[in-house]
Amino acid sequence: MKFSLTILGVNSAIPANGRVPTSQILQVQSEKFLIDCGEGCQIRMDQYGIGRSYINQIFLSHLHGDHLFGLPGLLYSFSLNRRKQALHLYAPQSELLRQMLLNLLSAQGELGFELVFHDAAASPGNVRLVFENELLSVHSFPLVHRVPTVGYLFREKQRPRNIIPEKISEYGLTVEQILEAKSGEQVRLPDGRALDPEELTLPPPEPRSYAYASDTMYSEDIVPVVAGVDLLYHEATFAHDLADYAAETMHSTARQAAEIALKARVKKLILGHYSSRYKELAPLLSEAKEVFPNTVLGEEGRVYEVPFRSARK
Ligand SMILES: [Zn+2]
Ligand SMILES: [Zn+2]
């Protein structure tokens, strides 16, 4: 089953150096979760062959334009495509977002589908469940920025155990017994024998996870929230020689992103939200790798797959 992140836009502030402002798609099975929607989002989707179908949830970190200004265009396209299905928008300051969008779109007539606004604001120490379905949950968590800002943690739900096919015929298991074993219960056979679920099933793969943290100044408060995730995207707007300026503008350096990744023991760190002053990104990558070797540059068009991992016994 697919669990992959595609970066659509990875610049901060303005389009520059061939990069566009922030947006990403996390695909879980066929469902596409759009994360931020900066200017250029739709152009990148078109370039990368990503259709607009199966986008039903959009998660916005905050209302700065470099994370938002692609959204009116996307909504307009949905409307022209005669979308009927409701679209769910998650954001801090969701009421302000609602007013902004409805004012902007009022000259276009009816959209033809419902916009459902969800408040994703999270206060310090507060991790908030904002969405769940049968496959995964999404929590928002507070970031430290100039306006109310949240990150998002996407985590798959634990799957049931996997039945060993040969055991079905060996013991003549019924559908009910298979379901019992998959859910970790003991199975009793007609002759009175009791079989442990470990005899009949294999453990499910570990739930996969992705944490998105942009924009934020360095804050160790997020370490316990993102601990152990498969992928962490953490903004790295500046190189560390501009650490003071990063703090002043409430952004992070590449080294600080790596320090968070190290402290949180994540599996892989993806850098992004680069300042337009960096045409070449190699210096950001190398300073991060000194602290956390399994760091990669976030690059537009790249797909970061998270494969299944076998469960620990
Ligand atoms: Zn930004
Ligand atoms: Zn911002």
**310 in any annotated domain:** no
User: Contact at 8 Å (CB) between 84 and 111?
Assistant: no
Instruction: Exactly one of 36, 66, 215, 230 is catalytic; name it.
Output: 66
Looking at 142, 174, 202, the residue that finishes a domain is 202
Q: For residue 258, how far is its CA from the centre of ligand 2 (angstroms)?
A: 20
> Residues with beta carbon < 5 A to ion ligand 1?
12, 66, 215
Question: How far does residue 146's CA lie from ligand 2's centre (Å)?
Answer: 7
Residues linked to residue 137 through DSSP beta bridges, in sequence order: 132, 155
User: One digit per residue, pLDDT tens: the chain, 313 residues?
Assistant: 899 999 999 999 999 999 999 999 999 998 999 999 999 999 999 999 999 999 999 999 999 999 999 999 999 999 999 999 999 999 999 999 999 999 998 888 889 999 999 999 998 888 999 999 999 999 999 999 999 999 999 999 998 899 999 999 999 999 999 999 999 999 999 988 999 999 999 999 899 999 999 999 999 999 999 999 999 999 999 999 999 999 999 999 999 999 999 999 999 999 999 999 999 999 999 999 999 999 999 999 999 999 887 765 4
Q: Which of 33, 252, 287 is nearest to 140 (CA)?
A: 33
Largest distance between two CA atoms of the chain:
75
Interatomic CA distance for residues 22 and 10, integer angstroms: 5
C-alpha–C-alpha distance, residues 242 and 52, integer Å: 38
9 with 91, same domain?
A: yes
In the reported structure, the alpha carbon of residue 23 is separated from the centroid of ligand 1 by a whole-number distance in angstroms of: 10
pLDDT score for 109: 85
pTM: 0.93
Residue 313: per-residue pLDDT: 45
The ligand that comes nearest to the alpha carbon of residue 66 is: 1
Q: Examine the domain organization and report whether 52 and 179 are in the same domain.
A: no
Question: From CA 104, how far away is CA 33, in angstroms rounded?
Answer: 24
Position 14 scores a pLDDT of 92
Whether residue 143 is found in the same domain as residue 279: yes
Q: What is the pLDDT of residue 227?
A: 97
Please tell me the distance from the alpha carbon of residue 215 to that of residue 106, in angstroms, as a whole number. Answer: 30
Expressed as residue numbers, the domain containing 89 is 3-159+205-305
Say if residues 306 and 4 touch (Cβ distance below 8 Å): yes
Q: Which of 202, 234, 261 is the last residue of a domain?
A: 202
| Number of neighbours of residue 235 by Cβ within 10 angstroms | 30
67 and 28 within one domain: yes
Q: Ligand 2 center to residue 64 CA distance, Å?
A: 5
Is residue 313 situated within a structural domain? no
Does 66 participate in catalysis according to the annotation? yes
* Residue 312 domain flag: no
